[in-house]
Amino acid sequence: MAGSAEKIFEALGDPVRRYILELMAGGEAAAGTVVAAVQGYTRISQPGVSQHLKVLRDAGLVSVRAEGTRRFYALDADGVAAAQAWLAQLVDPLAQFAQPLDALATEVARGRRARQAEPGRGAGESSEQDVRPA
């Protein structure tokens, strides 16, 4: 489940957590594998890596699954999508309206096709009136 934008970007503010996310981009990884990779990147204890993983989990950026006594971590697509959506609105503030407008256009087209398919109506005929000013 995706976290709030505040939690997501707070989690992304740390270079170790960003490195962990880069590791996760390669696919699911066992906790021990993540710890070893992060310890190769910087001096940090196993509990330190676990704390970073908890912050990422709480922000909704990674998910964890248990298999016996082992834990496997992976990117959480919902959290990544939430971060992308927040950033996209900065670049294109109207982007949030694209999907609803596409849906409206689809419904309008369906209505036109349905009216044109009515018996007694030619392909070029329409029941719509011209409302343009004269």
Determine the pLDDT at residue 87.
86
- pTM (2 decimals)? 0.65
Supply the angle between the helices 31-41 and 15-24 in degrees, to the nearest 10: 130
C-alpha to C-alpha distance for 67 and 90, rounded to whole angstroms = 40
Query: 95 and 101 in contact (C-beta within 8 Å)?
Result: no
Determine the pLDDT at residue 98.
65
Determine the pLDDT at residue 3.
65
- CB-count burial class (<10 Å; 0-12, 13-18, 19+) for 60: buried
Domains of the chain: 1-116 (1.10.10.10)
Q: Tens of pLDDT along the chain (134 residues)?
A: 466 888 999 999 999 999 999 999 999 999 999 999 999 999 999 999 999 999 999 999 999 999 999 999 999 999 999 888 888 878 776 666 666 667 777 888 888 888 888 776 655 555 555 555 55
Determine the pLDDT at residue 1.
46
